[in-house]
Homo-oligomer: A and B are copies of this chain.
Amino acid sequence: MKMTVPETTGTRMRADERRALVLEAATQVFGERGYHGATTDAVARAAGVSQPYVVRMFGSKEALFIAVLDRALDRLMDTFAAAVEQTDAAVAAGDTETVTHCIAQNYVGLLGDRGLLLSLMQAFMLGADPVIGPAARAGMRRVYEFLRANAGMGPGEAHEFLAMGMMLNTLVGLRMADDYEREPAVRELLDEALPTKLDFLLSLRDAES
């Protein structure tokens, strides 16, 4: 009974590691093409495994998407929670930073993981689906209730914050930054939507393969 943790030294990987890899790949693919547009084969190739393995690991494509949704929400809430702590510390140090501002900063950071926010949005557009719909609604509730209960926002603040978030997600989904140089109106809109972090967003766009 040594109970050693397998080190993944050889050609094979531990199942939970591989699972995390597949979830990451699936997040990207689902974010890019949406639930119906994504194929389990594309996820498998992105993760470097075979297509049947992806399906068997999660039971079905639908279950995989739910897992992606849950993971995305977990990460989102972690980011928010960290932002709240960060704000508390700043306030304790005499700073006058608002929670909303601080969370917003960290939210923009999440745009770096394009798949995460887009997978969420894709789920939000599938409210009519009998399985995904309820899960997506529960996800939105979870976010809203966090903002109200843990971030100390009022109903109006929370709603406004979510509206900004949906706008940013939409602009990312549209790949609006692709037209930043070419279209003056796009430049103006993005300058307004991302007052501080715009160079960050553009660098992400250019870093794409």
Residues of B within 8 A of A37 (CB): 34-37, 126
- Contact assessment for A34 and B36 in the assembled complex, using a CB-CB cutoff below 8 Å: yes
Residues of chain A in range 21-71 having any CB-CB distance to chain B below 8 Å:
32-37
Q: Is A185 an interface residue (CB 8 A)?
A: yes
- The copy count of this chain in the complex is 2
Q: How many residues of A contact B (CB 8 A)?
A: 48
The answer to the question of A144 belonging to the interface, with a C-beta cut-off of 8 Å to chain B, is: yes
Q: How far is the CA of A72 from the CA of B162 in the complex (A)?
A: 25
Q: A140-B176, A174-B127 given as contacts; is B155 within 8 A of A162 (CB)?
A: no
Distance in angstroms from A157 CB to nearest chain B CB is 10
Cβ–Cβ contact A125 & B121, under 8 A: yes
Which of A11-19, A105-113, A188-196 binds B? Answer: A188-196
Evaluate contact between A174 and B140: CB separation under 8 angstroms.
yes
When distances are taken between beta carbons in the complex, the residues of chain B under 8 Å from A175 are 127-128, 133, 137
A155's closest neighbor in chain B, by CB?
A: B192
Do B125 and A34 touch (CB < 8 A)? yes
Interface residues of A in 158-209 (CB under 8 A from B): 158-159, 162-164, 166-167, 169-170, 172-176, 178-179, 183, 185-186, 188-189, 191-193
